[in-house]
Chain A
Amino acid sequence: MSQRPAIQLDHAALRRGDRLLWRDLTLDIEAGEFVAILGPNGAGKSTLLKVLLGLLPLSEGHALVAGKAPRRGSAEVGYVPQQKGFDTDLGARGRDLVTLGVDGHRFGPLGAAGRAARVEAAITAVGAKAYADRPIGRLSGGEQQRLRIAQALVGDPSVLLCDEPLLSLDLNHQRGVVELLDRRRREAGTAVLMVTHEINPVLPYVNRVIYLVDGRVAVGKPDEVLTSARLSSLYGTRVDVLRVRDRIVVLGAETEPHHDHDHFHDSDAGEWHAQ
């Protein structure tokens, strides 16, 4: 592994329309680092991933991914998008999804050399062998998520960007997916950047968190950022961070006007579901 950081952000800011999503985002993410991106709905978490994917330009500042300006189609980056699910009869198997990760972007009738072996290895690595040949639309959310991770990893990227990969998974599957990502970054030195609403499943593994709230940004180790004082100033209102055994519960993180599909900020308190 080279010594240059996997991701560098320098005073990065992003506006959509006339709205400032976040600014002054400065950090270097090293190879093999595991970073969680937290924040309420609409804070710009997915948008940050889009910037790193080269799909959106920054409004201010600079970004580097694997030492280069973010570029669409970069082989250095693997991407697991915010979960949508597939049609039941899509006409594709799990294996086909992973195969697209190898050469789906290539034109012409010939597939990449050694494709089958790489796909097989990626499927085995995420433990999806048993169901890789079933129609993708008929797999459970957790099974689909493993195959998506295999698809993102089959290209052997140095940076992995995951958008809410734990969404709608039960506790067991959440742990499975997080352990998978953790093993990958330890064994292959892949930097993992993961958007999540569920902090507790990732807490034992992440090195740092990026917390985005209404234009403000907090970056640091989980213990430094997830404190009552830090989150209170971030949200601009009183927020209590409670530690119950090895879990964290955030109370009072009232969010700005946000989307309806909010699934963890309860109507009154906005707490992390301590599932």
Chain B
Amino acid sequence: MNDIWTYLHYPFAQHALIAATLVALVSGLIAPFVAARDMAFAVHGSAELAFPTAVAGLLLFDDALTGALLGSVLVAIAIALLGSRRGDGNTAIGVILAFGLGLGVFLLSFYHGYASQATNILFGSIVAVTGRDLAVLGVVAAVVSLLVLVVYRPLFFSSVDPEVAEARGVPVRILGLLFVLMLTVTVTEVAQVVGTLLVLSLAITPAAAARCWTAAPLLVTGLSVLFALLAADGGFLLSLAFVDSGVKASVFITFISFGLYVVARVAAVVRRV
């Protein structure tokens, strides 16, 4: 056991903790919509597609995040065009995903910088978060949170009851597009912290756990944010405590997230008997 407090005096640890908190906030906010729209695969797809775009960013601007963020907009448009809800375009997402990963590996063969830059994309590198990364993350978190606040009700309407929402005049298609955009940008940011391979642990699992506890939408959202915060911050702090083991923070994050889900499922079963 190491003294967590000692580490928290270092800027790298402070940056990481702020990054974990911001990422947990946005992913916890949008996770209930991902669950309601049954878009887990779109999350997974856009997370993995952050890999080729990040490599492209490394090649073009020597910066993975810029590439991934720009790429996420392209990915959002592609997913939205292929059908943005109810797992509509799952097959098509799979096709794009397969090609995208191949493209990523292909691009990687042209990249002669630090290989860790590229693997960081896959598994996350919370301790490598820079002040500039934090600024970008802060802006993304603020914009996404604000948007969720404004569109919450019509987005929820069009997620759970699209036919009636459309008849009631809700711009269902535009909201679907906006949501995919918020989703892919968020996912790209989350990927920074937990890696593209582990994004679902913050963008789905918290909502899945929350839905076991309650069916009240606002409570689901609140719990989802809470669980995401517990997983992200708790995971990072644990990684400090066990820093000698060399286990990455993203591993602890996924473990805590899954643990919260298991507890929720068990509690749901117990309450029902």
Contacts and interface: CB of A to CB of B under 8 A. Distances in A.
Interface of A: 53-55, 72-74, 77, 79, 81-82, 84, 86-87, 89-93, 96-97, 100-101, 103-109, 111, 134-136, 151-152
Contacts of A93: 215-216
Given A91-B207, A93-B215, A105-B169, A79 B164 contact: yes
Contact of A104 (B38, B153, B220): B153
B169 A107 contact: no
A270 B191 CA distance: 57
B150 interface: yes
Given A87-B38, A96-B216, A97-B160, A73 B153 contact: no
Contact of A53 (B153, B161, B167): B167
B178 to A, nearest CB: 12
A109 B152 contact: yes
A96 B170 contact: no
Contact of A55 (B157, B160, B166): B166
A72 B164 contact: no
A104 B156 contact: yes
B165 interface: yes
Contacts of A105: 153-154, 157, 165, 168-170
Say whether chain A's binding surface is mostly helix, strand, loop, or mixed.
Answer: loop
A271 to B, nearest CB: 30
Contacts of B166: 55, 72
A91 B36 contact: yes
10 contacts: A72-B166, A77-B167, A79-B168, A81-B163, A81-B167, A84-B163, A91-B220, A100-B157, A106-B154, A109-B152
Contacts of B165: 100, 104-105
Contacts of B131: none
A89 B211 CA distance: 7
A219 B240 CA distance: 76
Contacts of B151: 107
A106 B32 contact: no
B11 interface: no
Contacts of A96: 160, 215-217
Q: Which are the 6 A-B pairs with shortest beta-carbon distances?
A: A73-B169, A104-B157, A135-B215, A81-B163, A91-B220, A105-B168
A106 B153 contact: yes
Contacts of A82: 163
A87 B153 CA distance: 19
Contacts of B160: 86, 90-92, 96-97, 100, 136
A234 B168 CA distance: 35
A176 B113 CA distance: 71
B32 A103 contact: no
A107 B153 contact: yes
A81 B161 CA distance: 10
Nearest to B207: A91
B270 to A, nearest CB: 16
B149 interface: yes
Interface string B168-195: 1110000000000000000000000000
A84 B32 CA distance: 21
Contact of B215 (A91, A109, A111, A152): A91
Contacts of B35: 91
B212 interface: yes
Interface in B13-48: 32, 35-36, 38
A100 B217 CA distance: 12
Contacts of B169: 72-74, 105
Nearest to B212: A89
A87 B34 CA distance: 13
Contact of B164 (A86, A109, A135, A151): A151
A86 B212 CA distance: 16
A86 B157 CA distance: 13
From A72, A73, A92, A96, residue with most partner B Cβ within 10 Å? A92
A86 B35 CA distance: 13
A150 B151 CA distance: 24
Nearest to A161: B167
A249 B36 CA distance: 42
Nearest to A93: B215
A105 B163 CA distance: 12
Given A72-B167, A73-B170, A107-B151, 16 more contacts: A55-B166, A73-B168, A77-B167, A86-B160, A90-B211, A91-B160, A91-B217, A91-B220, A92-B215, A93-B215, A100-B153, A100-B161, A100-B164, A105-B168, A107-B150, A108-B153
Contacts of B36: 87, 90-92
